[in-house]
A and B are shown apart, each in its own frame.
Chain A
């Protein structure tokens, strides 16, 4: 079983605060790192798919970075809003054979208080 770790497990911030979470994953046989946003009572939806070491991606106030050599990715949210409240999942995709499956971390539950 591949080890994909996310921290913190949960986070409470005030509206307007900026925040970030961490995803750690195996540094060998790397193919891609995914980030998903999962709101209560809905399905997870993709934020980013990252493949290259040093990659930085941005969507509005949310951005992510990737370090494949040391096996971590950061997700940043600038100026958090109550609608950002959700669970943020990362998923590691390895290369070769059955390694192509997506292995998810347990997620970071973000609550943004108005």
Chain B
């Protein structure tokens, strides 16, 4: 089954404690991205990757890091989480130039206290 898998689904953590949210896709997609969703602000892109070892900042990259060492995985790293990073996070993947849709993970609800 084609899918994007995010883990964990829910996470409560404390300010400053490094965390990683994993994202894995099994569709051989080149393009992967991370979004955060906040009330009234829609889906805002944090980082994206167009292929292995190719990553770039989205619209709200501050406080986040990513890596793309393998095509299927695109982890989101918060080195020192702060309360303003409390949000709902989605990972998505798609083909770059194919006219097909993006597939989304199940979402990660992160709370930083």
Q: Which residues of A contact B (CB under 8 A)?
A: 1, 32, 34, 36, 43-46, 49, 51, 89, 91, 98, 100-107
User: What interface size band does chain B fall in?
Assistant: 20 to 34
Task: Indicate if the CB atoms of A100 and B56 lie closer than 8 Å.
Answer: no
Task: Indicate if the CB atoms of A51 and B40 lie closer than 8 Å.
Answer: no
Task: Indicate if the CB atoms of A101 and B48 lie closer than 8 Å.
Answer: yes
Q: How far is the CB of A10 from chain B (nearest CB, A)?
A: 11
CA distance A46 to B100 in the complex (A): 9
CA distance A107 to B31 in the complex (A): 22
If A100-B50, A101-B48 touch, whether A49 touches B42 (CB-CB below 8 Å) is no
9-residue interface stretch from B12-20, B67-75, B78-86, B104-112: B104-112
> Which residue on B lies nearest to A103, using beta carbons?
B45
> Using a Cβ cutoff of 8 Å, how many contacts connect chains A and B?
53
> Which residue on A lies nearest to B35, using beta carbons?
A104
Q: Which residues of B contact A (CB under 8 A)?
A: 31, 33, 35, 40-45, 48, 50, 56, 58-59, 90, 92, 94, 96-97, 99-107
Q: Which 5 A-B pairs have the closest CB atoms?
A: A46-B101, A106-B42, A43-B104, A104-B43, A44-B104
If A43-B106, A43-B107, A44-B90 touch, whether A104 touches B42 (CB-CB below 8 Å) is yes
Known: A34-B102, A43-B90, A102-B92. 11 other contacts (CB 8 A): A36-B101, A46-B102, A89-B42, A100-B50, A100-B97, A101-B31, A104-B43, A104-B44, A105-B42, A106-B40, A106-B41
A101's partner among B45, B100, B103 (CB-CB below 8 A) is B45
Determine the chain A residues whose CB is within 8 A of the CB of B92 once the complex forms.
102
